[in-house]
Amino acid sequence: MSSFLSTILLLLVPATVAHSQTRQTSPAIDQQFQLATEAMRAGNLEQAGDGFAEILKHAPTFAEAFLNLGLVREEQGRHQEAIADFQKALQLKPRLRGASLFLGVSEYRTNQLEASVAALRKETSISPKDSNAWMWLGIVALEKGDGDEAVQALDQAAKLAPENVDILYHRGRAHLFVSNDSYARMFKADPKSWRVRELLAEASAGAERHMDAIAEYEAAIKLAPNEPRLHEELGTEYRLAGKLPEAEQAYLRELEIDPENISAQYKLGVIAIESGDPLRGKSLIEGAVRVKPDLQHSDYNLARAEMLLGNDAAAAGHLEHATSAAGSDPEVVEQSWYQLGIVYRRLHRTEEAQKAMATFRKLKDEEAENSQKALKRCQTQQNPATMPSPPSPQNPQ
């Protein structure tokens, strides 16, 4: 049974309950409806379709039967018949749950995008807490090229179902579409703008082309020398390129432009530690943490400063926090355990030092194992001969 039909079946029980409560049909029709529904659940589409069609001969105003018949026809690839059945269900019950949703999906599959959006908007008004309705509205709006509506719909879907992978995937597509559209308009409107250089710098940074990023940030700074954040980003690229003096000067210039830039102050502290000035680094980082306590990896960097200053007890406290911090970079956590083992040894806490080093080795082994698995996946993808053939389609159209 397809995932589409599996999703659809979530609506069958409420429809059946509504039918049995209204008692608009005979017990015989009730039984036929149950049998057809069970056939549908079992994936016996022909039997289910025949059953719902027979019901409608005797109960032509049974909206739920039209809805379920439409679901069967949709799964059979008979999209126009499905659309007609959904429309009939809505004529009989304009607010029948799910009817507008699946009408919109069928219209989308037949490239009737305007009609599909209208149906899906109606479903979201009828069932505003239905994440699937919002997701499909976003999908169809994106297909139409309406990025703003797609983002709005998929953001709402994500609020209702924050862990739904399908919603997150389509939401990412929608936001990327809007971003690309905005960037294209920006290039067209003013190709010589400093914003264009900044965007090119960000793209190079994302691809780890740090020297290219440095060149683009410097070009942006020439056009907008006092623009906040540009020098900070330039400093970050200098640091990643191993140019610590240039990075320090960029962060200092950023703080001249924006003295309240806590991120730049923190990064300047890290640079000071890496340059062999732990006292200055510690002072800068502690000042930044007082303003923004959740700065990432601050405990690890403060521990580095304390170790250089010979304050092993203080370093141990920071490293203990660093090893348990949620959302930390795995490499930083790994190094924190290693440094913690060293500090414990200096403090003559031998048993704890051994445990810390054992944890470090375990993390290193896991890292190596994951790297090997990733390498094997890459090799498999690059060698099609080793890959299994794709299965034949079950329902060729």
Read off the pLDDT of residues 78-105 as tens digits, 9 standing for 90 and up.
Answer: 999 999 999 999 999 999 999 999 999 9
- With cut-offs at 50, 70 and 90, classify the pLDDT of residue 4: low
DSSP state, residue 388: P
From CA 141, how far away is CA 114, in angstroms rounded?
A: 9
Written as six digits, the tokens of 260 are: 């309240």
Residue 191 DSSP label:
T
CA 209 to chain centre: 25
Q: How far apart are CA 303 and CA 285, in angstroms?
A: 11
pLDDT of residue 379: 62
Tell me what percent of the residues of the chain surpass a pLDDT of 70. Answer: 88
Residues 312 and 332: beta-carbon distance below 8 Å: no
pLDDT in tens, 352-380: 999 999 999 999 888 888 777 766 766 66
Separation CA 14–CA 203 (nearest Å): 50
* Terminal Cα distance for the chain, rounded: 16
Amino acid at 216: E
How many angstroms separate the CA atoms of 339 and 344, rounded? 9
pLDDT at 117 over 70: yes
| Tokens at 307, concatenated | 């170790």
Rounded Cα distance, 47 and 283, in Å: 76
pLDDT mean over 246-256: 96
Region 9-18: mean pLDDT is: 43
pTM of the model: 0.61
* pLDDT, position 43: 86
What are the two backbone dihedrals, phi and then psi, of residue 376, each rounded to the nearest 5 degrees?
-65, -40
Residues 316 and 344: beta-carbon distance below 8 Å:
yes
Q: Tell me how far apart the alpha carbons of residues 133 and 125 are, in angstroms, rounded to a whole number.
A: 10
Q: How confident is the model at residue 5 (pLDDT cuts 50, 70, 90)?
A: low
Question: Distance between CA 348 and CA 379 in Å, rounded?
Answer: 47
d(CA 79, CA 102) in angstroms, rounded, equals 11
**Closest to 288 in 3D by CA, of 306, 312, 268:** 268
Confidence of residue 189 (pLDDT cuts 50, 70, 90): confident
